[in-house]
Chains A and B, each alone.
Chain A
Amino acid sequence: MQHAEASHEQIGHLDHEALKVFGFWIFLVTDCLLFGTLFGVFVVLRSHTDGGPTGKELFEIPGFVAETFILLTSSFTSGIATLAMNQGNIKRVIGWLIVTALLGLAFVGLEVSEFTKMAMEGATISRSAFLSSFFTLVGTHGLHVSIGLVWMTALMIQLRRHGMNAVTRRKMTIIGLYWHFLDAVWIFLFTVVYLMGVM
């Protein structure tokens, strides 16, 4: 009797965790709408440079190509962390999360240096409609990655303290989804902003 009750409770708990993962999917859809709107603004304003610098003059190919491959690799390593979680190897989970976070940090670092360099050349957010939409779109993505880094660090601390249970596993699943989603958004930034910019 007592055993049956316990297992029933456990099933209810699991359903609850699955519902939370679904809730996160809903958040990702709303985030898609946010980025979609910013993309719409950028595409409309990208030719409005007001005699200022254009994307072709500003974007440095080695920089954004490096950013792309770093983010692609970090998406892969966060996937490996999820695999290690399924195998129940907490040391490998934390190890791969550290690798992912370092790659994310390298990405943010490159982006900050890119933005600084552009600002030093006079290409600031207030220079033209093109630059306003550029910094808003790319900056929003960079902010997402930075928040993801803080979040991942917090999760590593929780994993170390509480080990792996239903709650930390769900949190791992959610941050994995978030990280892959950011990579998917970057692909469109790479294509629409950078590749079309240098074309």
Chain B
Amino acid sequence: MTQKETYGTMREYVTGFILSIVLTVIPLVLVLNHLLGTSALIIVIVAMAVLQFLVQLFFFMHIRETEKPRYNVMALVFGLVFIVAIVGGSVWIMTFNAQVH
């Protein structure tokens, strides 16, 4: 029981913290100095945000350490599918709307 409840170690938290800082500083430097073209810049900073989301899930929220049938992961993936559909679909359809004008 105590074995199952060891949520993370100090090393894990420090690694997660350093990773999240690095993943914040990189997009900040890229944007402030405009080091890439606009669309490349958008792709890179969104990728950094997604990586950072994964850092939070794995290093801080311990998504792997829950009991075996990982219903929480399934629920989360299900939710993310909806979010991609909502955000991606809205952006896509509204771009067409802008072209009609």
Measured between C-beta atoms, what is the minimum distance from A182 to chain B in Å?
Answer: 10
Summarize B's interface: helix, strand, loop or mixed.
helix
Report how many residues on chain B are interfacial, defined by Cβ distance under 8 Å: 48
CB closest residue in chain B, given A25: B72
> A191 touching B27 by the CB < 8 A rule?
yes
Total number of A residues with any Cβ neighbor in B under 8 Å: 47
Map CB proximity to A onto B1-36 as digits: 1 under 8 Å, 0 otherwise: 100011111100100110011001001100110100
Residues of A within 8 A of B (CB): 14, 18, 22, 25-26, 28-30, 32-33, 36-37, 39-41, 43-44, 61, 65, 68-69, 72-73, 75-76, 79-80, 82-83, 86, 169, 173, 176-177, 180-181, 183-184, 187-188, 190-192, 195-196, 198-199
Q: Which residues of B contact A (CB under 8 A)?
A: 1, 5-10, 13, 16-17, 20-21, 24, 27-28, 31-32, 34, 38, 41-42, 45-46, 48-49, 52-53, 56-57, 60-61, 66-67, 71-72, 75-76, 78-80, 82-83, 86-87, 89-91, 94
